[in-house]
Amino acid sequence: MTRLARIYARMMKVHWVILLEYRGDTFFYMFGSFLYPLVTLAVWLAIAADNPVGDYGQQEFILYYLMVLFVSRLTATWDPWEIEVLIREGTLSPHLLRPASFFHWRFSESLVYKLFYGAVMLVVWVIAWPLTDAVHISLEPLLLMQAVVAIVFAVMIRYLLFFCLSLLGFWTTRMLSIVNLVEALGLFLSGRIAPFSLLPDWVQASQNYTPFYWLLGFPVDLLTGKVSETAVWSGLGVQAIWLALFVGLYFLMWNRGLRKFSAVGG
């Protein structure tokens, strides 16, 4: 365990150095990712100008999309694009020779960016708190704790989902198209286009058998106080099940994929 901790500490330091080397890019990525929720918010503000839509008036929409912006920035991953290049150019080999899993190298990068973006957003949140009540959420300790756990689960599940999708690159050269398809599906089924309670019943029912709601909609609903107390616990349970499933899928795909990769040549 201490070995893994040392490896993460070192890898995260190195990724931090790279982040600073590319601070311009880091900045643009951050604000680029804010555009989509803000544009969607603008649309909903126009629609809700006179009458609320369902439970959502303008005030609720603003809070909802600020939380979407917060959670989706923390859960964002870009591994498929990075891993596609490594597989295509054969530069994955040096990583496979090292006595530490390639996963740790990628995940430690993701963690650095999440911590950095998370810290920046929290600072902005604290500054904004006394200025506008649009950013106010319930500060009840239990709820905050549950929200943190839900976000950590969402981060892990989404990370593993996209890491597993990246591993499809071992089998097909069309991996990125599949990733784009899943992203598009997630746009609709995660609560990004509209709050989940405003979507048709069949979309709401999708949360029973797809992970998307649990990656974004659930933590956002939790933060905005839309989830009943019993539903919170069962929701965290569902997240835990998805996480366990994806951990299993990761090990399966990694071992099979490596064999496949090594059969066709690295």
Q: Which of residues 16-45 bind other proteins (CB under 8 A)?
A: 17-18, 21-22
According to CB under 8 A, which one of 9, 115, 134, 145 is a site residue for other proteins?
A: 9
Cα-Cα-Cα-Cα dihedral sign, residues 57, 158, 82, 5? positive
**Distance between terminal CA atoms of the chain?**
30
Cα-Cα-Cα-Cα dihedral sign, residues 110, 146, 69, 240? positive
- Contacts for 7 with CB less than 8 Å, ≥ 6 apart: 100, 104, 108
Cβ–Cβ under 8 Å, residues 26 and 32: no
Closer residue to other proteins, CB minimum distance, 18 or 145 = 18
Binding mask 70-99 for other proteins (x = CB under 8 A): --------------------xx-xxxxxxx
- Least distance (Å) from other proteins to the CB of residue 165? 22
Cβ–Cβ under 8 Å, residues 212 and 192: no
Closer residue to other proteins, CB minimum distance, 87 or 215 = 87
**Segment near other proteins (CB under 8 A), from 14-22, 42-50, 143-151, 208-216?**
14-22
Binding mask 111-130 for other proteins (x = CB under 8 A): --------------------
DSSP state of 225: T
**Segment near other proteins (CB under 8 A), from 126-134, 146-154, 245-253, 256-264?**
256-264
- Taking the C-alpha atoms of residue 229 and residue 238, their distance in angstroms, rounded to an integer, is 15
Lookup: tokens for 227: 């989830």
List interacting residues with other proteins (CB under 8 A). Answer: 3, 6-7, 9-11, 13-14, 17-18, 21-22, 90-91, 93-100, 259, 262-266
